[in-house]
Amino acid sequence: MKELIVHDAGNAPLYRILLEETFDGLVPLLHSLDVSERKLCLVSDSIVGALYGNEVGGILEKAGFSVVSFSFPAGEASKNLSTVEQLYDFLIAHSFDRNDVLLALGGGVTGDLTGFAAATYLRGIRFIGIPTSLLSMVDSSIGGKTGVDFKAYKNMVGAFYQPSAVYINVNALKTLPPREFLAGMGEVVKHAFIRDAGYYTFLKENREEILGKNEELLCSMIYQSLCIKKAVVERDPKEKGERALLNFGHTVGHAVEKLSDFSLLHGECVSAGMLAAAEISVLRGTLSAEDSRKIRDLLTAYGMQTKVPAPERDEFLSVCHRDKKADGSRIKFVLLDAIGNAFLDSEVSDEEIWTAVQAIL
């Protein structure tokens, strides 16, 4: 259906992203990567594995590939070093060497965990992303960020490690629960808010068809989000500057996520976090009240999270300061001066953060 090629900082091609409507294209993709004689490990969680593990594994085995499967309990609670250790043990038991390949079949947890294991097993083994959630398709599958949570701190341990390819079956979204789909939309609208006012208009005008999971519009939406993120990560692969703009809504969002003990989904917390960041932008005078209202209206129109449980002030601010995006005593905040134009600010005060948080309680 569609294809993107992600390049490194020197404009050399790194990997392909394919958008398809079935899993059948995995076979020619693997042949193009010259892995026909290598072992494949299909990594998935207990839910996605039950939905698609047999189908994907069957397609690959029928094509002559040697496939083993590793499954872990679904949920953010499994995204930790203990699960990675279990995967290491599994790979060692099946004699995987540096030339074999991991296949990350699932959402963001699976992709991040598998990518981190690939980056560290034998100092680096190839992996291919096969994202099945909207959030992983538009966000975590591209850019090379891998990692796991550590003692309830989100993505505290990780590495930048690029996949060999990303394969997206858009029709996998048809089995995605509505709450998970809307959580993924949090990252979709983020791309519009930080980089493309035209994309904001597309999302506003096609709301009904997108929520109805119209295949053509979903494909177009995913492609547009991938193009925005691709352009950013190509210019700043290690998040030294511009790439930090992709964290719009994440500073408050990660704090909300941790204090909810991960009962709220990542995309839900980011949605609320974007409203808080927009409120700070209005307080600073960089964003108009009208644009802030448009941001809230779009999130509300899609039924996304706009309110969160009230946290305790000092605990909330303490979590914000311990976020991995903090720089010493300063918190890096992504703000807006218009829909489609974000900038980075390291001088946001605790009072400004707490005042803005009142708008999402």
Which residues are identified as catalytic? 123, 145, 187, 229, 239, 243, 247, 250, 254, 266
Please say whether the beta carbons of 60 and 67 come within 8 A: yes
For residue 306 the two structure tokens come to 């706009």
The secondary structure element, H or E, covering residue 145 is: strand 145-150
Please report the DSSP string for 194-212 in residue order.
HH-HHHHHHHHHTHHHHHT
C-beta of residue 107 within 8 angstroms of C-beta of residue 48: yes
| CA–CA separation, 66 and 60 (whole Å) | 8
Q: Which two tokens stand for residue 258?
A: 């941790």
Nearest to 249 by CA among 359, 159, 172: 359
Q: Are 176 and 51 in contact (CB under 8 A)?
A: no
Which residues are registered as beta bridge partners of 333?
345
Identify the three-state secondary structure at position 301: helix
